[in-house]
Structure 1
Amino acid sequence: MTADDAPPTLHDDRLSAEDLLASPRGRSLVFGLALEQVESFPWTGDEEAPGAEAVVRNLRCLCPIAPTWSAVKEAMSDVVDAAVYWQPPDDDDWGTAEIGEVREALRPFAEMLVSTGLLDAWSKPLDPDDQWALGWDDKELNEVNGRYTGLPAVFDLETGPTDERIEITLTDLYPPLDEDGTRLPWGFDEWLASVLTTETRYRHNFAKDPYDELTGEWWSTPPHGLWSSTGTWPDGTPIGLELVEDDLGLERARTCRLRLRPDARIAEIRRPEDWADLCRRYPLDVTAQRRQVWFETTGRRGRWVIPDWTRVAEEYDGVHVGLAGYLRAAGAVIDVAEGHLGEDPDPDTVPTAGNTDDRTASLMAGWHPDTTFWLNDVIEAVTEVAEWHYDSDADRWVQD
């Protein structure tokens, strides 16, 4: 993967049934659609939480039918909403689908889904003319939590197209907190210093007690406070409104259409190999701070790395994880390399007690589908502002 790579054709890179069955999120999508084929899934037997044998038996009783677009979008929303990286997966969700027999029972449903062509467009690369940044209005949520932050400055703007350059800073989209603290955007230097300091602290703790189950951050996204954007569904709804990992009940948002610099360099994460490539070229060891929390969600102990976004930014201006890339890579243990990367660590402080293997791996966690993080200053202007709210009666996002 290089900055000069031409985007693949949809035919070459579109999702296959095997892609869906090989990944946690893909299996979850297929499993959810299979369950939606009947009003109440006819589990045979008396199991309240059916095991793999009952799941296989009942899946084989169903004849796959072609899902509608709305059913696929709703199922995808459920997949993203249920994504967790800090605890074991639920047995009644994609955790069950991890079992080989269940996976094979899902194959006819995956093949039916792919044959509809509904997922073909999910493999498209970033569309620079259809990028929207989101400013969330979390007033009600914050009042419930006792820390009302006020509205971002973007909510003071008039909605609709604009012929003028609108200067919106990061602090407008991510406003400071009140006197209890600040939530200002981090620069890359602050982010890297925090990761390195945290890793050192966790390694020292590990040296004192290798079996202390300390948890740490679970996400592997670039620093909080960078600009990010999303594309839209065919009906014009921004994808980032509907597909949000770790959704806290947000119900209002302003979306800002961005004009990007035409020479922006984009790293496309289409497959796990693309993520692994970033980790191999720009590794940042986070084994100590991720070892327990990622063990909870994957069952793996071993060396963990994430991309060093400070170095990725030297080659790319943005990193885009499309819908297909998310289904293929999110939540999966991504093999990076055998053994270790970089210099040999101190054997007395290496946090690898209880390893299940000696390989280096990574986890793409905390990425919303079809999200691009902008690592450098390539946003020239905001050309349109729109306000959206979640209509609970219609169960969808509606533009005001």
Structure 2
Amino acid sequence: MITAADLLDHPRGRRFCLELVSGVQQPDDPAAAAGALAAVSLSVPTEDDVVVALESTADSALWWQPADATDALLSRPELRPALTRMARWAVDSPVVRQLAEPQGGAWTVEFDDEDEEAPRPSPGQALRDWARAVRGEVAQGDPGVTSGDWWTTPPWPLVQTTRAPFPSAGPLALWAVEDSFGHGHARARPAPADAAARVFTVDGPDDWAALCRRWPLDVTTTTRRNDWQLATGRQGTWVLPDWYAVAAEYDVVHLTVSGWLRTSGDAVTVDDDRASVVAGWTPDSAYWLTDHELGTGMWAAWSRPGNSGVWRRHD
């Protein structure tokens, strides 16, 4: 479930409200922007409206540069009353509620530029290699002001699955992608369920903080410090979950749609000294840290014209 406060109090939530109100042009002046938002007509959103809005919201998650002007504007207190109206309108919509609580099975997605024949190491080997590489970066010391790896997802080739809130638009991994490459062709197939899987669910910043406290990997001396400081404005010690260690106790880490809206865009306080971020995640992503089938059944082809807009399945 997602509430109006969830949208109002977090960068991605505020941006989603704005993107859902299509056609609104934001003036630079907060008072003028507040007036424009207060005056805009709030019609009933469609499934396609929600798809496009969430994709645009994910595209605005830029973890290697300062928050853009629109995000900065939306955080101003002058816009709070107008955004409150928009947030309440959004969460009252059945299609937004359907987005936040997707039903049905999950899918794996591969885009057109992915090499399906590339050798895939086992999850255990992939996680060991990843942990060794990150610790190597840490050991090298201060990287200066360069940019580098900024995402906090488990590494390739771990299986990632997402559900499809709106079946006609396909799985969320098709269109709600941070730092998307603008793909226009992909394929998806059902992922097998496992009722016995040990799942760590991230439904908000408290869950992410708990994950980082339990299995912290300090990355302050890597390029992540520079990128995350630019994106959040925070200076200090940074950690991310040690996915290799997490895999000893959990099979899956799942970031819900609500968890993404509540967490992406903010510096998450882990304790008095440390913070982290949820960066590079697609909403509703479930990453399998242990062995799991890539998928079952036939692949279905998906595409969209001009590498933008709503994805559609074609058989």
Q: Do they superpose with TM above 0.5?
A: yes
Q: Does 1:382 align with 2:290?
A: no
Secondary structure of the 1:224 match is coil
Report if the CA contact (8 A) 1:261-1:379 is conserved.
Answer: no
**Map of 1:232-381 to 2, 5 A cutoff?**
232-236=164-168, 237-289=170-222, 290-339=224-273, 360-379=274-293
Report if the CA contact (8 A) 2:184-2:307 is conserved.
Answer: no
2:11 partner letter: P
C-alpha distance in 1 between matches for 2:41 and 2:162 = 36
Q: Does 1:152 align with 2:116?
A: yes
CA offset digits 1:16-51 (Å, max 9, x no partner): 1111011110000112234x2xx564x7xxxxx513
Identity value in percent: 32
Cα displacement (A) at 1:185: 10
C-alpha distance in 2 between matches for 1:368 and 1:321 = 8
How many residues end up aligned between the 2 structures? 311
C-alpha distance in 2 between matches for 1:234 and 1:305 = 35
Report if the CA contact (8 A) 1:56-1:102 is conserved.
Answer: yes
**Map of 1:43-192 to 2, 5 A cutoff?**
50-62=28-40, 64-91=42-69, 93-124=70-101, 130-138=105-113, 151-153=115-117, 171=119, 187-192=126-131
C-alpha distance in 1 between matches for 2:294 and 2:286 = 16
C-alpha distance in 2 between matches for 1:186 and 1:256 = 25
Report if the CA contact (8 A) 1:391-1:398 is conserved.
Answer: no
C-alpha distance in 2 between matches for 1:380 and 1:106 = 41
Q: Which runs of 4+ in 1 moved over 6 A?
A: none
Q: CA 1:113/1:293 → structure 2, altered by over 3 Å: closer, same or farther?
A: same
Report if the CA contact (8 A) 2:152-2:240 is conserved.
Answer: yes
Q: Does 1:30 align with 2:8?
A: no
Report if the CA contact (8 A) 1:318-1:376 is conserved.
Answer: yes
CA offset digits 1:213-264 (Å, max 9, x no partner): 2333111111121111111133341221121211112222121212133311
Structure 1: unaligned runs, 5 residues or longer? 1-13, 44-48, 139-148, 154-169, 175-183, 206-211, 340-359
2:51 partner letter: K
Q: For the pair shown, which has the larger CA radius of gyration, 1 or 2?
A: 1
Cα displacement (A) at 1:66: 3.8
2:291 partner letter: D
Secondary structure of the 2:270 match is strand
Secondary structure of the 2:49 match is helix
Structure 2: unaligned runs, 5 residues or longer? none
Cα displacement (A) at 1:79: 0.7
C-alpha distance in 2 between matches for 1:367 and 1:381 = 20
* 1:144 alignment counterpart: none
Report if the CA contact (8 A) 1:130-1:231 is conserved.
Answer: yes
Normalization by structure 2: what TM-score?
A: 0.89
**Aligned partner (choices 211, 219, 225) of residue 157 of structure 2:** 225
1:280 partner letter: R
2:167 partner letter: D
C-alpha distance in 1 between matches for 2:294 and 2:279 = 29
Cα displacement (A) at 1:191: 0.7
Normalization by structure 1: what TM-score?
A: 0.71
Report if the CA contact (8 A) 2:105-2:193 is conserved.
Answer: no
Structure showing the higher helix proportion among its residues: 2
* 1:177 alignment counterpart: none
Report if the CA contact (8 A) 1:185-1:224 is conserved.
Answer: no
